[in-house]
Structure 1
């Protein structure tokens, strides 16, 4: 145990050399509880509070309905998130490198490119929103100053790598956790609550489903990079501990700030959630908003780190001899960060709203990938992959394109479209029938999971039946 702690401590002060290569067994380090702190500490932030506020402001739910939908949505979505996390100790490679085992070396490129776009978009949106939040409590910074501070923290963590990000999350677990408790006490204890706070009228199926979906998608959005942060765990750690620590870390770390958001939404229905939080915590509002705003830097570092590893994965696919290490990771991260900062600084007032529409579409494109990835890993191959083949130009035994996986994926994207809502730009016909509720992610999971499983198992049986049986000649 002491050797593991020493190795972890040394890596905090040194720059991570690995990028997308399989982590050697003698370089594995960390403990199960690291999975709890990284997902607990990085979820307690201002964006989680804003997401929770949707339940009572946008979806108009009373307190009991909002609480139930937030809790159930997070508990459901986190199942898929934690299943991805459990893959890390087994394979020791980033999440999207493993995708080559399902889609083939070239078949995975489009999906990996979607992930790069999505997390670059998240990075930009969080820079803008976090910069505005910091400027609201530290006016001398200005929005641009806040954006630059968050960008600097994110790029530093990405350059130093895996263990520094984990260390940052451990710090934020305590800082954000204590601040969250104070915020609850101030908002609902120190300040009097209105008499109708616990009113029970106004609940609706559409509002409940909308809140449930927002909470569940919050968790599923982590799927493309969650095992990036468990891949250094010793293989002996096993999948179950990684699953449960990730599951309870991300659910408690998300549910609590979302409940705070839903509560402050009821306190000030006419205000922006961030303004409502400031009013509800008057007296300690500077501390609360500052800590929760800084908390987004941890999440943004993870977005940048993931986007960098995915970019390296694409480059390595087309240039198999390209071996990226710390220097290459730093250069690519700096390029992505510079682009994101440029866009964030020049963004108009309506940028985040417009870009969020694109992010919703990209996220919808990842739900079928989640289904294919998890079914293949747990039900088809049972975690038995030849990692070396992920890095071969021809994909090795996984080929260049695994067409059954690609076709199942495309079907999954298509069946979601009628159920999707993309801001004000598009509302699918089925979403209209459901009262303006987006349940596309459920449809994607329900359709693709059995479709891919039966397709792959049927092909395996057919191939097994066509293999000639070699009999020993009779002497």
Structure 2
């Protein structure tokens, strides 16, 4: 992407997965706060927070404690990934080649593309259904297309427009969300038994905590994509805290609204309850949060395109994709997600709940390996040219240590899994509580670190750093 007189002005991004040069770097740490705060102020975050009540049957204070703890813990991992961007200047999935090797990383990258498609489709459905719920004249399918089209435009223009879009939504959605809280409490009013509804359970508390932590962890595969243009002098500390508080606060506030709405209504229709509870404000609320969905979806689509290009470049190393390729791939991915949204809208909540639980199991071991390698093994020093070689350069075609640890990371979670399809023996013994992600992180982080030391990877990367890589 070329510089212009105003580095904040939206302009067509020309770069894709290539390293961002010093001349192209721009922006400030506070840009990371607004992108992660603004992109979380959407209806899907409200729905996710409401799961504490609708699925896990928690009372208010227990739900609040679980959501706060889950977001604050999960946010640490999200922000540690974000802090890698200014240092390396490449997308997160390209950097993954440094741990898994050029071909070893393909499985993870492919899974991440599926993740983007799933979140994109979920957001489309929720946007379309919400617009129809508040504005009956707008057909659900028309609403889905409207949200999708705005997302496609923003993703096609690229990095600067997405940052500008979320910067606007930080203030616009933030103001509307604040009004919704005021209206719900002082206008509609909370039910007399608001604090007495439901009872605390270990399974419900851990389930809510896990969902909140996953909400943060789900950003890990692409969070550094939005910090990679920042000047290297930005530093890891500034990037970490700006991303951390932006994402944690941006997630907690709408999740809290979801809990309050769910405890104020009969049944599980949170969006319908939100529309009813906010009365005259509901038209503005639904319109703004639906526009916000398009901003978040633009991020999903943009990073899905970058990850798809990463797969293609791995197979054809001479390919240097530009803006045209990114736009075409965005259009193809958009078409696939649109089909998922139109076909799966009737079973949205069931499909969404199963989807985020599945993500939990495949993202956790990757995050553990990436963070341990970056911070404890390589100390942020990688040979960027090796990322773009078919043979993987210094990192080879496949780092079997990382691949085996990744597979192990999924296997060790199985006894602790708790889903509609399968519940492990430990989870059953804990009344369905799912702590698989804690086990995955706790086991794979030290195992991978020790395997790197014993296998000589730590020494090899240290020598690379001394060589000026």
TM bucket by the smaller chain? over 0.9
Alpha-carbon RMSD: 1.9
Conserved? CA contact 2:81–2:224, under 8 Å? yes
Q: 1:348 offset after TM fit, Å?
A: 5.6
Q: 1:461 offset after TM fit, Å?
A: 8.1
SS of residue paired to 1:6: coil
How do 1:126-275 and structure 2 match up within 5 A? 126-199=123-196, 202-275=199-272
Q: 1:118 offset after TM fit, Å?
A: 1.2
Q: 1:193 offset after TM fit, Å?
A: 2.0
Which residue in the other structure is 2:82 paired with? 85
Which residue in the other structure is 2:444 paired with? 448
Larger radius of gyration: 1
Unpaired runs of 5+ residues, structure 1, are 468-475
Question: Aligned partners of 2:102, 2:234: CA distance in 1, in Å?
Answer: 29
TM-score for the superposition, normalised by structure 2: 0.94
Conserved? CA contact 2:3–2:24, under 8 Å? no
Question: Aligned partners of 1:347, 1:138: CA distance in 2, in Å?
Answer: 21
Compare 46-55 and 317-326 and name the one that shifted more: 46-55
Q: 1:407 offset after TM fit, Å?
A: 0.8
Q: 1:269 offset after TM fit, Å?
A: 3.8
SS of residue paired to 2:346: coil
Conserved? CA contact 1:118–1:359, under 8 Å? no
Question: Aligned partners of 1:436, 1:260: CA distance in 2, in Å?
Answer: 26
How do 1:418-429 and structure 2 match up within 5 A? 418-422=415-419, 424-429=420-425
Question: Aligned partners of 1:173, 1:252: CA distance in 2, in Å?
Answer: 11
Question: Aligned partners of 1:32, 1:146: CA distance in 2, in Å?
Answer: 34
Kindly report structure 1 stretches of 4+ aligned residues shifted beyond 3 Å.
Answer: 3-7, 461-464
How do 1:63-74 and structure 2 match up within 5 A? 63-74=60-71
Which residue in the other structure is 2:41 paired with? 44
Question: Aligned partners of 2:299, 2:447: CA distance in 1, in Å?
Answer: 32
Unpaired runs of 5+ residues, structure 2, are 464-469
SS of residue paired to 1:43: coil
1:369 to 361, 366, 370: 366
Conserved? CA contact 1:4–1:30, under 8 Å? no
Which residue in the other structure is 1:471 paired with? none
- When residues 15 and 354 of structure 1 are mapped into structure 2, their CA distance, relative to the original with a 3 A threshold, is same
Equivalences, count: 460
Conserved? CA contact 1:118–1:363, under 8 Å? no
Q: 1:33 offset after TM fit, Å?
A: 0.4
Question: Aligned partners of 1:5, 1:39: CA distance in 2, in Å?
Answer: 25
2:286 to 281, 286, 289: 289
1:390 to 380, 387, 396: 387
Conserved? CA contact 2:203–2:434, under 8 Å? no
SS of residue paired to 2:304: helix
Conserved? CA contact 2:8–2:27, under 8 Å? no
Compare 137-146 and 222-231 and name the one that shifted more: 137-146
Question: Aligned partners of 1:136, 1:57: CA distance in 2, in Å?
Answer: 19
SS of residue paired to 1:340: helix
Which residue in the other structure is 1:8 paired with? 7
Conserved? CA contact 1:114–1:362, under 8 Å? no
Question: Aligned partners of 1:259, 1:458: CA distance in 2, in Å?
Answer: 46
Conserved? CA contact 1:121–1:359, under 8 Å? no
Conserved? CA contact 1:64–1:200, under 8 Å? no
Conserved? CA contact 1:7–1:29, under 8 Å? no
2:304 to 307, 322, 340: 307
Question: Aligned partners of 2:252, 2:189: CA distance in 1, in Å?
Answer: 23
How do 1:96-115 and structure 2 match up within 5 A? 96-115=93-112
TM-score for the superposition, normalised by structure 1: 0.93
SS of residue paired to 2:263: helix
Q: 1:9 offset after TM fit, Å?
A: 3.3
Tell me, yes or no, if structure 1 residue 116 matches structure 2 residue 113: yes
Q: 1:271 offset after TM fit, Å?
A: 3.9
CA deviations on 1:265-316 (whole Å, 9 max, x unpaired) are: 1111424111111122112111112212221111111111111000000000
Question: Aligned partners of 2:454, 2:132: CA distance in 1, in Å?
Answer: 58
